[in-house]
A and B are shown apart, each in its own frame.
Chain A
Amino acid sequence: MAEPRLPVGPALASLRRRQLVKAGLTHAALIAACLVCVYPLLRMIAVSLRPGDRLISTDLALIPAGATLASYARVFAETNFLLWLWNSLVITAVTSLIGVSLAATAGYAFSRFRFPGDRLGLTLLLGTQMIPAGMLLLPLFLMIMRLGLINTYLGMVIAYSVSSLPFSIWILKGYYDTIPRSLEEAALVDGTTRFGAFYRIVLPLSTPALSIAFLFNFTQAWNEYLVARVVLCDAQKYTWTLGLFELQGQFITQWGMFAAGSFLVTVPVLLIFLHSSKWLISGLTLGGVKG
């Protein structure tokens, strides 16, 4: 068999050309896919900029004729938009705080200790992800009703508090596993208790994973709609998801306000997600990436 020859002269030129064409096609396909992904967002901006008398139109221009920020002004002036954001913020912050504190300790127990039922516990945690959300919702709703917590922040906090817990425990357990045990052993030699070693050594080192777990809890609760729909019924208590749904549902004339509100909510969420995406994704695909 002849030795593979390095391409020279005309052969090299044709190889280059083929590679160029291939790269060009790849870029073209990727740009098309990016457009599909971004276009709805751009359309949202376009609709939010439309003047009130031209809200309903088949116009596809990204910056509509007579662009105005009136919809943004109206969404603040005519709806409870700021109140909705505040409601969401209170509920979400408290929920995430509870969720992360519970997950931080539980994850450590799973990472460092062997005790009867540890494997089973981890499997059960994974199993909870299989339970249809709609299935838990009804008994939770009835429990909240029985406690007289319908239409309160508290009911929402209770309903949300453990929903992201199994996932957070898995993320944190995975991260603790990567921290060398020798650090804690050194601390134990120096005279701390086992809990002290966790609290003073492991916890500070886990700040990145803790913030990811917090972020995960936060985005889950921040974007939640279905539980809020059944627990909250007073427009004063609405979270922003309920508020925007109302705006979108009522009349087509609210379309501009809906688009403006949506854009304002989306931008921070998008920035946070993209900023932390590497981390979030590695947590989310924990099972996958490790395989």
Chain B
Amino acid sequence: MISALLQVLEFVALLALAVAALESYLYFHFTYYDRKWFLPASVAAVLVLTLAAAGLVLDAGRAVSWAAAAALVEAVTALVFSHLVRGRHSLPVMLLAPGFIGLALLIAYPLVFEVYLAFHDLKLTTIMVWSRTGRIPFVGFKHFFKVFTSSPLSSVSFWQLLGRTVWWTLSNVFCHVAGGFALALLLNNCRRLRGVYRTFLIIPWAMPQVVAVLALRGEFHSQYGFVNVMLERLVQALPFLAGWGVGPVEWLGRHALLTCTLINVWLGIPFMMVVILGGLQSISQHYYDAAAIDGASAWQQFCHITLPLIRPVLAPAVTLGTVWTFNNINVIYLVTGQAGGSEDADILVSALYKAAFTFYRYSYSAALAIVIFLMLFAFALVWLRFSKGSESAYG
């Protein structure tokens, strides 16, 4: 427990050292680029430092070749600094460097690695070899064909998953916006206790998602969950309802996707509500007064004042909400992810997660991930062209 803490602190210290080294390197190149000794000194320093560092871990021959390569790279870098950069933009580059190197290592590099994986064959049988030697067989487009022809899980097909994903995204976003709009309008019309209501209404968003989903999952238990208990009591109280097919439902067994959707709707409404309420409060009351004097009905006011004026607020929120919902693994995995859980509720991204970490089909899931990413990318391009939703994000 404490040793692990020390390990983490040691890492933080190392990280700070690395950042300091990076910054001094940049500072040197930005400040002394026009001295005569700049090029030879920086190449010599890099040569010596790499030789020393590589000599500690590698044998002599390889250490020398590494140091030579590093010196060559440094010569080019130094030339760039002395002839092109010439000390300009020093502070922003130094401020940005640590963050962007982090992003490059932990977001850009993994994306490239994912493409590499998709064209090679990494699975449970080859992973031990890979982790020792770093080699995996090349297989070309095989996994991309498999994405469309075989099941990512045990039986459900890619096209079924795609259909479910579309349904899941559309129904969730629609319910979030409709529910959020209704609650925001109610809150906006309500003078007293607004703050109190708002606090309570935000709770689904504020709760840790894991807790909320697992607790709600329990409430959909076929025998002891709140939903079925209520349905049963309702039928007992009003027996004629049973004739209409009302009664306890096998939520998790038969209607897993519907259950996930209900849970996610509950979770997602507060965000939309808050965004829309912010937008509503920024609309001046004068418009409504003017419209009322002209005799506009409440519905007309809503259609011709509220909706057009809320659009710039709503469009980015809907874009964001669509992407979040499309990419939502959490809810579906937490509801159906346990051993023996069904795959009736899986959408594309949760199938991706399960293919990689339940079925250990690494390369296959990398190919699936790229297909999903390209689809999302195409959607984003089309959507942005139509809605111009990104403009307001620049402020």
Q: List chain A positions with a Cβ less than 8 A from chain B.
A: 4, 22-23, 26-27, 29-31, 33-34, 36-41, 43-44, 47, 56-58, 60, 83, 86, 90-91, 94, 97-98, 102-103, 105-106, 108-110, 112-113, 115-116, 118, 121-122, 126, 128-143, 145-146, 152-154, 157-159, 161-162, 165-166, 169, 174, 177, 194-195, 222-223, 225-226, 229-230, 237, 241, 244-245, 248-249, 255, 258-259, 262, 265-266, 269-270, 273-274, 277, 281, 284-291
Looking across the interface, which residue of chain B has its beta carbon closest to that of A58? B229
List CB contacts (< 8 Å) of B31-85 with chain A: none
Is B212 positioned at the interface, with any CB of A under 8 Å from its CB? yes
B110 in complex: contacting residue of A106, A126, A143, A245, CB < 8 Å: A143
Q: Nearest chain B CB to A57's CB is how many angstroms away?
A: 7
Cβ–Cβ < 8 Å partners of B362 in chain A? 138, 142
Once bound together, how far apart are the Cα atoms of A177 and B232, in whole Å?
Answer: 57
B11 touches A154 (CB 8 A): yes
Cα A166 to Cα B100 in complex, Å, equals: 10
From B142-150, B239-247, B351-359, the one touching the partner chain is B351-359
Contact mask B326-362 → A, CB, 8 Å, 1/0? 1101100110001100000000011011001100001
On whether the beta carbons of A34 and B200 are closer than 8 Å, the reply is yes
A40 near B216 with CB under 8 A, answer yes
Q: Provide the bound-state CA to CA distance between A31 and B197, in Å.
A: 8
Instruction: Give the complex CA separation of A248 and B214 in angstroms.
Output: 7
Whether A94 contacts B95 by the Cβ 8 Å rule is no
Q: Which of B201, B207, B330, B338 contacts A41 (CB 8 A)?
A: B207
Query: What residues on B are CB-neighbors of A39 within 8 Å?
Result: 226
Q: How many A-B residue pairs have CB under 8 A?
A: 295
CA A20 to CA B236, docked complex, whole Å: 36
Q: Is the CB of B15 within 8 A of A109?
A: no
Chain A residues within an 8 Å CB radius of B353 = 134, 137, 226
Instruction: Kindly list chain A residues whose C-beta atoms are within 8 Å of the C-beta of B226.
Output: 39, 43, 60
Known: A26-B186, A30-B190, A113-B89. 15 other contacts (CB 8 A): A37-B204, A98-B15, A102-B98, A103-B99, A106-B98, A131-B111, A132-B326, A132-B349, A134-B329, A139-B117, A153-B5, A162-B102, A245-B214, A285-B275, A287-B395
Cβ of B103: which chain A residues have Cβ within 8 Å of it? 128, 162, 165-166
With A and B bound together, what is the CA distance between A118 and B93 in angstroms? 10
A266/B207 in contact, CB under 8 A: yes
Query: What CA separation (Å) do A98 and B105 show in the bound complex?
Result: 15
Q: Which residue in chain B gives the minimum CB-CB distance to A118?
A: B92
Please report the C-alpha to C-alpha distance between residue A231 and residue B199 in the assembled complex, in whole angstroms.
35
B317 within 8 A of A: yes
- Judge whether B218 and A255 touch: CB under 8 Å: yes
Q: Which of A31, A157, A269 contacts B208 (CB 8 A)?
A: A269
A-chain residues with CB within 8 Å of residue B207 when the two chains form the complex: 41, 266, 269-270
- B219 / chain A contacts, CB cutoff of 8 Å: 40, 43
User: Which residues of chain B in 200-220 are interfacial with respect to chain A, using CB atoms and an 8 Å cutoff?
Assistant: 200-212, 214-219
State the Cβ distance, A79 to closest chain B Cβ, in Å: 15
CB within 8 A of A98: which of B12, B114, B199, B376?
B12
Question: Are the CB atoms of A270 and B203 closer together than 8 Å?
Answer: yes
User: Can you list 7 A-B contacts (CB < 8 A)?
Assistant: A136-B107, A139-B366, A157-B8, A177-B395, A245-B334, A273-B205, A286-B395
- Nearest 5 pairs of A and B residues by beta carbon: A291-B392, A287-B393, A139-B110, A291-B312, A273-B206
Closest Cβ–Cβ distance, residue A148 to chain B (whole Å): 9
Interface size on B, residues (CB 8 A): 111
Q: Is the CB of A138 within 8 A of B365?
A: yes
Tell me if B162 counts as interface (CB < 8 A to partner A).
no
Q: Are B352 and A134 in contact (CB under 8 A)?
A: yes
Q: Is B224 an interface residue (CB 8 A)?
A: yes
B377 within 8 A of A: yes
Contact B89 A132 (CB under 8 A): no
Q: Once the chains bind, are A109 and B95 in contact (CB under 8 Å)? A: yes
Contacts of A106 in B (CB 8 A): 95-96, 98-100
Q: A34 near B201 (CB under 8 angstroms)?
A: yes
User: Which B residues are CB-close (under 8 A) to A277?
Assistant: 199, 202, 206
Closest Cβ–Cβ distance, residue B310 to chain A (whole Å): 10
Smallest CB gap from A236: residue in B:
B1
A207 to B338, CA, bound (A): 42
Residues of B within 8 A of A161 (CB): 102, 106
Among B91, B210, B218, B329, which residue has the most Cβ atoms of chain A within 10 A?
B210
Chain B residue contacts of A98, Cβ below 8 A: 12, 15
Q: How far is the CB of A249 from chain B (nearest CB, A)?
A: 5
B15 near A174 with CB under 8 A, answer no
The residue of chain B having its C-beta at the shortest distance from the C-beta of A224 within the complex is B210
Q: Are B274 and A285 in contact (CB under 8 A)?
A: yes
Given contacts A132-B372, A266-B208, A269-B208, contact A38 B1 (CB under 8 A): no
Name which residue of chain B comes closest to A247, CB basis: B214
Given contacts A38-B200, A105-B99, contact A222 B208 (CB under 8 A): yes
